[in-house]
Structure formats: C-alpha cells, structure tokens
Amino acid sequence: MKTHSPASWLAVATTLSFVSTIAPAVAEDAAPRSLFADRRAHAQGDLLTVLISEVASVSANAQTRTSKGESASANLLQRDGEIQLAQAGFDSKFAGGGQIERSGTLLARLTVRIDAVDANGNFLVSGEQLIVINNEKQNIRVSGVVRPDDVTGDNTVPSWRVSGANIQLVGKGILARKQSPGILTWLLSLFGQ
C-alpha cells in the first residue's frame, strides 16, 4: 500500500479549501433567478426601455388690417374775386396675414442605460440608436430622469414619464438635404426677400 507524504496532503487540503470558497459564489451566479424576483432596472449600468410616443402640433394665425382716411377742403380766392372750393383726400389701407402649421409624430422603442442614481433614488438615463435605411441615417437620442416607480414590470417606461426628457431625431442623407433650403434661398432670406 502506497502512503502519501504530508506535503501532498497539504496540497490536497489547500486545493479543497480553495474550491469550497469559490464554489458557492459560482453556484449563486449560475443559479436561475426565482420566478418572483424583481427584474426591473435599479442600479447604475442596468438597462431599461423607453417607449417613445410623442405627438407635437403647432398652429398659429395672424391677421393684420389697417385703414386710414383723411380729407381736407379749402376755399381759394382767385384774382377775379371768385371763390373756388378745393378738396383733397388721402386714403391708405394695409392688409396682411400669416399662418404657420407644423406637426410631427415620433413612435419608437429605445433601450437606455442608467448612467447614475441621484440622491432621491431617481435614474439618470441616456441612450441612442442609429438606423440606416437606403443610405438614410436616422439617429434617435434620449436622455432624462426616470423615477423607479414609473418603471413597469417588463422594464419599460413611457417617454411622457421621463422628466426633463431630451428626445432628438436627427436625419442625414439625400432626403434630409432635399428638405433644407439651398444656399441662394438662404442668402436671400438674410436680406428679407
């Protein structure tokens, strides 16, 4: 029968104690979470989804009308002693108007990251998404503050619940260039034409 030296027993004991301290930590991370665990975002670095549903509409009308009339009459004595009546009238009218109508709708789902948690426990979030379709780039950016109570069970929050929301949709490409005025139009607008 073969006997083991004390050094080999010491090596085995050290290895077992090392494995026993690591095994519970690995087992906890690998173990599935309970069905009843709260999976909502709650710490820095966690992700949550913002459901963007924004509708904006602006309409303004302006009408201006002015009218002014003046008249004057005078008696003129001619050289032959005859009195002649002279009259003059002035009239000015102005009418102007303008109308502005603008509307826009933005529907999107964007996953954002919790950048920090403030002193009140609110989440400072930000995220961006780039979509390229037929060489047209659409970049959506969202940032703001989210209350933990507003995060639903499926880890989403509507955009109207994001405080100080900064939602940007920036497009680049041929379509975006065609919607901008040309250089000549821009120069003429500087001189009020």
- Give the angle 65-66-70 at the CA atoms, nearest 5°: 155
Q: Give the tokens for residue 15.
A: 């290895």
How far from chain centre, in Å, is Cα 151? 19
State pLDDT tens for residues 43-79: 888 999 999 988 878 787 888 888 877 877 777 777 7
> How is residue 2 written in tokens?
């073969």
What residues contact residue 161 under an 8 Å CB cut-off, 6+ apart? 146, 147, 150
What's the first-to-final CA gap in the chain, in angstroms? Answer: 108
Categorize the per-residue pLDDT at 159 as very low, low, confident or very high, splitting at 50, 70 and 90. Answer: very high
pTM of the model: 0.52
Q: Which of 24-38, 46-60, 174-188 has the highest mean pLDDT?
A: 46-60
Per-residue pLDDT tens over the stretch 98-150: 787 878 888 889 999 999 999 999 999 999 999 888 888 889 999 999 999 99
